[in-house]
């Protein structure tokens, strides 16, 4: 994986995860002292905007990761020790779809349930991403040889 792909993915997923968490806390756990306000915080709309604007970048980053990293592992039959990777790939599509669909739904009950499903998938996805092992090898675009290649040289 190239360095820019890795950083794009890390930054976008961090922005989506943190803004989604902030939005959820403000919407469901905070109360506004103004009884006429539906907002938990004046920052709630900004957290939602950041979440919605960062989501397409995160989806792009996930596509890069899937193409360069996950697909190679799956097609190569490398299934051992890939639990967090399987969780990530299993939850990515329903997470993205529920995030887009929740914006278009008009029925209160179905929108609320879709939002809760999206939030639950988002928490599971963020936890799996945080726990997904990072290898200490250099990215594909690095000009230096990997430490394994130096060690195996005669």
Q: Hey, where are the domains in the chain?
A: 3-134
Kindly provide the b/e burial profile for residues 127-149, where b requires at least 16 CB atoms within 10 angstroms of the residue's own CB.
ebbeeeeeeeeeeeeeeeeeeee
Among 1-5, 36-40, 90-94, the least confident range: 1-5
**What is the per-residue pLDDT across 36-69, written as a single tens digit (0 to 9) for each?**
888 888 899 999 999 999 999 999 988 888 887 7
pLDDT confidence band for 131 (50 / 70 / 90): confident
Q: Which pTM does this prediction carry?
A: 0.76
**What is the per-residue pLDDT across 9-33, written as a single tens digit (0 to 9) for each?**
889 999 999 999 999 999 888 888 8
Asked whether residue 95 carries a pLDDT value surpassing 60, the answer given is yes
Asked whether residue 150 carries a pLDDT value surpassing 70, the answer given is no
pLDDT of residue 135: 58
Kindly provide the b/e burial profile for residues 17-50, where b requires at least 16 CB atoms within 10 angstroms of the residue's own CB.
bebbbbbbebbeeeeeeeeeeeebbeebeebbeb
The larger pLDDT score, comparing residue 151 to residue 95, is at 95
* Whether the Cβ atoms of residue 128 and residue 87 lie closer than 8 Å to each other: yes
Separation of alpha carbons 123 and 120, rounded Å: 5
Q: Two tokens at 70?
A: 């996950």
pLDDT confidence band for 151 (50 / 70 / 90): very low
pLDDT of residue 7: 85
* Whether the Cβ atoms of residue 107 and residue 115 lie closer than 8 Å to each other: no
Percentage of the residues of the chain whose pLDDT score is greater than 70: 81
């Amino acid at each position: 994986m190239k360095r820019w792909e890795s950083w794009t993915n890390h930054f976008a997923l961090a922005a989506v995860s943190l803004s989604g968490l902030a939005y959820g806390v403000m919407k469901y756990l905070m109360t506004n002292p103004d009884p006429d306000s539906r907002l938990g915080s004046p920052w709630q709309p900004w957290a939602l905007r950041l979440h919605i604007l960062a989501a397409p970048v995160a989806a792009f980053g996930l596509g890069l990761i899937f193409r360069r990293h996950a697909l190679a592992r799956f097609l190569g039959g490398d299934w051992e020790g890939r639990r967090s990777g399987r969780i990530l790939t299993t939850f990515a599509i329903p997470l993205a779809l529920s995030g887009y669909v929740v914006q278009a739904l008009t029925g209160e009950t179905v929108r609320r349930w879709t939002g809760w499903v999206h939030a639950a998938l988002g928490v599971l996805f963020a936890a799996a991403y945080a726990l997904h092992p990072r290898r200490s090898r250099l990215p594909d675009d690095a000009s230096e040889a990997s430490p394994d290649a130096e060690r195996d040289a005669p």
